[in-house]
Amino acid sequence: MSAYYYFFKMRILTTLAYRFEVFTAVASNAVMLLATVFLWKAAYRGIGSVQEVSQHQMIVYAILSVVMGAVLSVNVQDDMYYRVREGHIATDFIKPVQLLGMFLAEDLGTTVSALVNRAVPLILLASILFTPPLPVSLTAFLLFVPSLMLSFLLLWLMGAIVGMISFWVLELGNLGIVKDAIVRILSGSLIPIWFFPDWMGTVSAYLPFQYMYQTPLSIYIGKITHSQAGTALAIQAAWIAVLAFIAYAVWQRAKRVTLIQGG
Amino acid sequence: MIELSNVVKEYTVIKKKSGLSGSIKSLFKPEKTIVRGVDGISFRIEKGEMVGYLGPNGAGKSTTIKMLTGILHPTSGTVRIGGISPQENRKSVVKQLGVVFGQRTQLYWDLRLGESFELLKRIYRIDEETYQSNLEMMYEVLGIDQLINTPVRQLSLGQRMKGDLAAAMLHSPSILFLDEPTIGLDVEAKQNIRSFIREMNAKRGTTIILTTHDLDDVEQLCKRLIVINHGKVVEDGPLSELILRMAPYRLLVLDLSEMPDPQTLHHHGAELIKQEGLKLTYRFHKSDISASELISGLSAKLSVVDLGVKEPDIEDMIREMYRSSSTA
Ligand SMILES: Nc1ncnc2c1ncn2[C@@H]1O[C@H](COP(=O)(O)OP(=O)(O)OP(=O)(O)O)[C@@H](O)[C@H]1O
Ligand SMILES: [Mg+2]
């Protein structure tokens, strides 16, 4: 059993052990869930559909977006920043492991345990209060799953790249917040891009962000056809290749400039 | 084995100006200053040596260790461990290194001590047999078998340090770097850790490089000292030789029964350095005169009721080395 698998496994065990943290996280996600669903209900009042998306589809989109946000755990950015800032990165570098692999294994562990302890309660809650967030078809669901995995990788690589910047600038705090805000808006996690003006849709098609949330969610609710979904998956994969390359290049440099804080 | 030649490490420090306008200014035009943490260090350490790496605060000890372990890249000069650069071949070099930073732990905060060990077993790909026998040995020498199920964050400082030492030795490294391994520990724990270090060196031939501010550590552990100050090596040699050279004198303290005649105080082999009422302190060099010669010479002239000889002190020696290198 490799070290990365052990990181993954232990992360699942430790996150499952922190019950209170789970409780507060689910509670805050539940608030988000209520707020967005009520907002969409109000927005759709008296309107049948917008851009061929019905109110029901939109509500499923909103519910699933909150669930995705709660499940896909990307802590690499904050972890890296924290470890550089506190000087713990020194003890990571003295071990013969790939640091990024370790962070990825841990985030995967958190994500897997979040499927159990966050997704399940949120989906149950949504089903009771609103509607069970079911996919439009089985095929859609089967396309959604790989797309979701690619979304995770995209989000993760983005977080890793921003986190690595802490090797140069320790005042990362604001940069991380800016990035998170951009992802929130441009990924379609709050409001799908099709509600924005056309030019934004055009620009956004050439940026990686909408492939992080909107793509899997659109597949799930049937906003895009199966063949369009195939293309979307390919674009996701291409962005992963680009970001992975950037991450690798930045990482090679970051290692050289390591500054270790403290004696 | 371990080789540094002309190693320099410069840190770029960005000066923060105070006040709002100051911080805006430094945002756009940061004022950089360069600090030399290490300023041209060269030395060689052979396999199986036990070396004390000493120097006052800020001398550059930790910086050197971080370069030797591949964490930091030197600004110039070369670092080699077994002929390989730890910067270029980090993963292959760190496999043979054990490192303990007294100030921070390499154990995993969220895991139990035993789980941390299990993780290290996988990170270093230690085979089951070696792992078990090493673990057994750590239990025996450090007495940590009771702690194996305790979460790392619940360990006391001394317990954690023992855990860290065990963690550093699990993969049977050939070199062990210890950066202040006894900092903040009680007398008992210090003794445990010292005997552990001695044992690793004696039984396994582990090369040990130790930085410390604890002089008992130095006295009990280090056969050779490398002393640095302001990023430069100021002394390098066997402990006994350095003591002889830097602090070659002994002190003789005499208690008298009556006030002495000032004329009788002089002795050709020693120097009177202190006189407080009936208490006299002489300083003499080992090589000039023996203690018994001096005592008999002085007691012939003075009414001595009690006496004591103080051996050259490692503390005096270190103080002398730091002092002379600071003024130079
Ligand atoms: N991350 C850093 N950024 C800037 N300067 C640093 C940094 N780390 C160390 N220095 C500077 O480099 C010099 C050497 O520091 P180092 O930590 O190597 O000292 P040390 O010998 O370990 O001291 P101590 O006995 O206090 O642990 C000091 O002047 C310190 O201020
Ligand atoms: Mg130090």
pLDDT digits (tens, 9 = 90+) for A152-187: 999 999 999 999 988 887 766 678 888 889 999 999
pLDDT reported for residue A258:
67
Pocket of ligand 1 (CB under 6 A): A 259-261, 263; B 11, 13, 35, 37, 55, 57-63
B-chain CB neighbours of A257 within 8 Å are 73
| For residues B56-78, average pLDDT | 92
pLDDT for residue B126: 94
Contact with chain A for residue B35, Cβ under 8 A: no
* Chain A residues interacting with chain B (CB cutoff of 8 angstroms): 1-3, 5-7, 10, 14, 87-91, 93-97, 256-260, 262-263
ipTM of predicted assembly, 2 dp: 0.82
Surface-to-core class of residue A1, CB atoms within 10 Å of its CB (0-12 exposed, 13-18 middle, 19+ buried): exposed
CA distances from A48 to A41, A57, A258, B44 (A): 11, 11, 56, 80
Residue B81: predicted pLDDT? 95
Give the span between the Cα atoms of A257 and B1, in whole angstroms.
Answer: 26
Query: Nearest to residue A151, comparing CAs of A245, A69, A33?
Result: A69
* Residues 6+ positions from B4 with CB-CB distance below 8 Å: B41, B42, B43, B44, B64, B67, B68, B77, B78, B79, B80
Nearest Cα residue to atom 18 of ligand 1: B60
Work out the average pLDDT over B96-103: 92
List chain A residues with pLDDT less than 70.
1, 171-173, 258-263
Q: What is the pLDDT of residue A172?
A: 60
Is the pLDDT confidence value at B26 over 70? no
- For ligand 2, the distance from its centroid to the CA atom of residue B179, given in whole angstroms, is 7
The rounded distance, in Å, linking the Cα atoms of A117 and B121 is 30
Q: Which long-range contacts (CB under 8 A, 24 or more apart) does B184-190 make?
A: B184/B102, B184/B157, B185/B157, B185/B158, B185/B161, B186/B158, B189/B158, B189/B161, B189/B162, B190/B214, B190/B216, B190/B217
State the pLDDT at residue A137. 94
Q: How far, in Å, is the centroid of ligand 1 from the Cα of B59?
A: 7
Which pTM value belongs to this model?
Answer: 0.84
Query: Any idea where the domains of chain A sit in the sequence?
Result: 2-262
For the cut 70, the answer to whether the pLDDT of residue B17 exceeds it is: no
Residue of minimum CA distance from atom 31 in ligand 1: B58
Size of interface A-B (CB pairs under 8 A): 69
Name the closest-CA residue to atom 12, ligand 1: B37
Q: Is the pLDDT of residue B328 over 60?
A: no
Q: Do B119 and A90 touch (CB under 8 A)?
A: no
Q: Whose CA is nearest to atom 28 of ligand 1?
A: B58
| β-bridge mates for residue B225, sequence order | B52, B237
Residues of B in contact with A89 (CB under 8 A): 71
Distance of alpha carbon A231 from alpha carbon A187, whole angstroms:
17
